[in-house]
Amino acid sequence: MKSLKYFFSVGIGIGLFLFSTSCSKNDLAKVNKDLNDATDVGAINELPAATMETVFGTAGTDIAWYSSLFIEQSTGVDEQFYDADRRNGVTSASLMDNSWNSIYDNLMILNDMITKCSPGGSEPDNKGTLGIAQILTAYNLAVLTDMWGDIPWSEALKGLGNVHPKYDSQQDVYAAIFGLLNAAISNLTNASLVSGLAKQDLIYGGDFTLWTKAAWSLKARYFMRLEKRQPVYIDSVLVCVPNGFTDASDALVFNKYENSSTGANPWYDFTYQDRGDLCSGETLYNLMNDRSDPRMSAYFLNPDGDGSTPIVPAPNGEAQRTRAGYGVYSFSAITGTEDGWSAPTPLMSYHELLFLKAEALARKGNTGYINALEDAITANFIFHGLDAGSASTYFTTEVLPRLGTDMQSNLQEILTQKYIGEYEAESIEAYDDYRRTGIPQMHNPANQLTNFGFVQRYPYPSSEVTSNPNNIPKNINIFKDPVWWAK
């Protein structure tokens, strides 16, 4: 368990004091101090680190890559992803150590910001930064509980006061998430922009109106997550949607990557520059091919990159241990354009909000879901560099004929379109949707193996197994035990 998860480590200098007796107490106080490294900084100066930890450590790396694999948007063709596609090694406690610890480290930073900007803190009037920190906390906390279920929260982040925190139920964690988002909306409504925040806010540049829309949009997402537990939450989704994003420019998206080895989009770095362990998944490819989906040109690149070789998707769970011959990953892996290194990371997109609206209306039996679905698909086409005209033609010829008079048929197509639209950078949400709805159908043979199956949740990390054994949930089977909201 990383020390930052529950407490800040205190360095104790041990050395040889080779000083003359003439050294003063003040001189000794300066020993082993880096005077250029501040021990306390303003909350706005912590925001860039918290943002980048969220974009990279939470949304952009291991959790997203494995989620994409499990829902068959991609296929593992080398190293641990080849093994994971066959369910080898996925029960290991070390599988998600880095992600778990990274998120808790980030929650420590965000907690420090919230403490400083709350009443009694050093910056009680900084309500804007407080609201932003609460939104980012809610996002990170939701990813934690969605991936693992019960997690430490109410007793976590307390420092040496409690190094063995209890695990809170997912139901209680979700209550905390909504509490954070509601508080953020209230704080942002009454906020004034403090000096320097616009520069340190890497997503919205200090625009509190946009952060407020993001909070409402995230509430819609999380209410939909709970619809299986209480269908009444569908009404809550529809209350939130009008207060959320009004167009794509409002979306909660990070788009400040750089064309460098250290500043590029993590998907691009991983799938094209560094590893190449993932290729286009056959399940996703076939759904798009059956619909003559124009987004295929934006999603897939054939091995030679010049169009002379047909794209061959990698069969999920059965691919050869080689990248050769398979189509490579999507828009972030297309080399020769800036779409690779600078492809954005959406924490929540405008098209996701529209898909939520379409699903909610369909579940209510409201025919307005048809227009909402067309709007969602159009927004997704534009997000992927296609035009509205192509989206309209696609909707009329391929999507509309698949919609029927019964709710289940309509949900099947709505959620299939959402699955297609969330390829790559939004794979975490696609993984959550599949676990909630079972749409679309998966085809990996490993899902049918007696001792394995579809991965319903991630294994608790070794840092918890060794350091918090009395509180960690026991006898969890990651293939058989869905998280609370998916039951």
Tell me: pLDDT of 457 over 90. yes
| No. of helices (H) and no. of strands (E), the chain | 20, 4
> Alpha carbon of 130 to those of 104, 108, 112, 135, 291: distances in Å?
18, 14, 10, 9, 46
Task: Pick the most confident of 35-49, 153-167, 207-221, 317-331.
Answer: 207-221
Q: Select the more confidently predicted residue: 59 or 10.
A: 59
Q: Select the more confidently predicted residue: 327 or 96.
A: 96
**Cα separation, 145 vs 458, whole angstroms:** 10
- Residue 464 structural domain: 43-254+344-486
CA dihedral 38, 44, 49, 55 (to 10 degrees): 180
Residue 416 lies in a domain: yes
pLDDT band of 12, cuts 50, 70, 90: very low
Give the tens place of pLDDT for each residue, 98-136: 999 999 999 999 999 999 999 999 999 999 999 999 999
Tell me: pLDDT of 363 over 90. yes
Q: How high is the pLDDT of residue 312?
A: 82
Flag the least confident range among 248-262, 367-381, 400-414, 457-471. Answer: 248-262
pLDDT band of 28, cuts 50, 70, 90: very low
Question: What is the tally of structural domains in the chain?
Answer: 1
Q: How high is the pLDDT of residue 15?
A: 37
Report, as an integer, the average pLDDT of 166-177: 98
Strand partners, 253: 346
Residue 30 lies in a domain: no
Tell me: pLDDT of 21 over 50. no
Q: How high is the pLDDT of residue 10?
A: 30
Q: How high is the pLDDT of residue 263?
A: 85
Q: Select the more confidently predicted residue: 431 or 5.
A: 431
Residue 323 lies in a domain: no
Beta-carbon neighbour count of residue 176 at 10 Å?
Answer: 17
Percent of the chain's residues with pLDDT above 70: 86
**Those residues with Cβ within 8 angstroms of residue 164's Cβ, 6 or more apart along the chain or in another chain:** 467, 468, 470, 471
Could you write out the three-class secondary structure of 96-118?
Answer: CHHHHHHHHHHHHHHHHHHHHHC
The two structure tokens encoding residue 380: 């997704």
Q: How high is the pLDDT of residue 264?
A: 85
Q: How high is the pLDDT of residue 38?
A: 55
Chain-centroid distance of CA 403 in Å reads 30
Tell me: pLDDT of 178 over 50. yes
Tell me: pLDDT of 16 over 90. no
The two structure tokens encoding residue 294: 């124009």
Closest CA to 151 of 431, 461, 454, 429: 461
Tell me: pLDDT of 20 over 50. no
Residue 219 near residue 478 (C-beta atoms within 8 A): no
**Cα separation, 472 vs 465, whole angstroms:** 7
Q: How high is the pLDDT of residue 329?
A: 54
Tell me: pLDDT of 4 over 80. no
Residue 189 lies in a domain: yes
Q: How high is the pLDDT of residue 33?
A: 53
Q: What is the CATH number of the domain that holds 233?
A: 1.25.40.390
Q: Is 78 exposed, middle or buried (0-12, 13-18, 19+ CB in 10 A)?
A: middle
Give the tens place of pLDDT for each residue, 231-282: 999 999 999 999 999 999 999 999 998 877 778 888 888 877 667 788 889 9
Residue 420 lies in a domain: yes
Average pLDDT, rounded, for the chain: 88
Q: Give DSSP secondary structure letters for 29-84.
A: HTTT--TTS-S---HHHHHHHHHHIIIIIITTSHHHHHHHHHTTSEEE-SHHHHHH
pLDDT band of 302, cuts 50, 70, 90: low
Give the tens place of pLDDT for each residue, 199-234: 999 999 999 999 999 999 999 999 999 999 999 999
Q: How high is the pLDDT of residue 109?
A: 97
Flag the least confident range among 62-71, 219-228, 314-323, 386-395. Answer: 314-323
Report, as an integer, the average pLDDT of 160-170: 90
Closest CA to 288 of 401, 419, 384: 419
Tell me: pLDDT of 35 over 60. no
Residue 35 lies in a domain: no
Residue 11 lies in a domain: no
> Alpha carbon of 172 to those of 99, 154, 158, 194, 205: distances in Å?
22, 9, 18, 33, 32
Q: Select the more confidently predicted residue: 225 or 39.
A: 225
Report, as an integer, the average pLDDT of 319-337: 62
pLDDT band of 330, cuts 50, 70, 90: low
> Alpha carbon of 311 to those of 111, 273, 306, 419, 438: distances in Å?
47, 20, 11, 20, 27
Closest CA to 154 of 133, 135, 170: 170
CA distance from start to end of the chain: 29
Percent of the chain's residues with pLDDT above 90: 74
**Cα separation, 364 vs 125, whole angstroms:** 43
Give the tens place of pLDDT for each residue, 385-429: 899 999 999 999 999 999 998 999 999 999 999 999 999 899 999
Residue 446 near residue 478 (C-beta atoms within 8 A): no
Residue 20 lies in a domain: no
Strand partners, 280: 74
